[in-house]
Amino acid sequence: MKLSKVGAAAAVAVALALTATACGSGDSTKPGDTGSSAGAKKDKIVIGIKFDQPGVGLKTPDGKFTGFDVDVATYVAKELGYEPDQIEFKQAVSAERENLISNGDVKLVVASYSINDKRKEKVDFAGPYFLAHQDLLVRADDTSITKAEDLNKKKLCSVTGSTSAQNVKTKLAPEADLLELGGYSECLTGLENKKVDALTTDNSILAGYAAQDKNKGKFKLVGLSLSNENYGIGLKKGDKELQTKVNAAIKKMEADGAWAKAIEKNFGPSGYKAEPAPAVTEGS
């Protein structure tokens, strides 16, 4: 009799422990959840952007993110079901954008990412959402460079993996002394220190640098349209469902006025006049 009482007590203890465990399991949250009511929320989305392009994609010293691409990424993410606090921005340098997408390190890349056939062999795009033109940035007192051909025998800087430098080198000024660095800010330092004669990339990016308070009066855009650069949103190759959703978000952003507001906010202060929103053609 004594033994059976002990056995019964043990059984009760086990039952209570199991009950407590079952109740406690309701408190666990998935990655990205913020509490017991967050079960309906999606996990975070990781988006690749540039960290060093004022007006386009910039990480400020206080850890915030600003720029047109940031606004586009935030809008698109919201249309996909993600609030701003569920977005993780990851640096996407030009030479690593395809790898970041292919390896699954990011879901999307919104990083002044020009659509071209070579890149489309590795990734898919949504958009385009912006049309830029390749230009040159030179020192404000430089009158020797007024066209692309003037770069022959001069030092030209751009970033590794950028289409802009190769466009100049192969088509416009084959005798240019091309220097490719990791970021545009490094090229800008070289331009200011007279180690290079010009920096080439999209006019939107160049305008953002020239408009910074610390750079005002130091540099100028030559004012060329050396190429058409249609910015797209990069995503994993073959993900047609995501491509369709992102295209719809871009169209909605343009239709409801948010696109125009983002243009004015990010480029208006520099005096840069952006092209009208391009037609969304990828995936169609």
Would you state the pLDDT for residue 7? 52
**172-218: pLDDT as tens digits:** 999 999 999 988 889 999 999 999 999 999 999 998 888 888 888 89
The span from the CA of 106 to the CA of 215, in Å, is: 32
Has residue 142 got a pLDDT over 90? yes
Would you state the pLDDT for residue 21? 41
Q: What mean pLDDT comes out for the span 74-94?
A: 97
Domains in the chain with CATH codes: 44-132+229-270 (3.40.190.10), 134-221 (3.40.190.10)
Eight-class DSSP state of 235: E
Would you state the pLDDT for residue 271? 74
Range list of β-strands (E), the chain: 45-49, 52-53, 57-59, 65-66, 87-91, 108-109, 123-139, 155-159, 177-181, 198-202, 219-221, 228-236
**20-54: pLDDT as tens digits:** 444 443 333 333 333 333 334 579 999 999 998 99
The span from the CA of 178 to the CA of 166, in Å, is: 9
Instruction: Kindly report the pTM of this predicted structure.
Output: 0.76
Has residue 272 got a pLDDT over 60? yes
On average, the pLDDT of the chain sits at 86
**147-170: pLDDT as tens digits:** 999 999 999 999 887 778 788 888
Would you state the pLDDT for residue 43? 92
Would you state the pLDDT for residue 195? 96
Of all residues in the chain, the percent with pLDDT exceeding 70 is 85
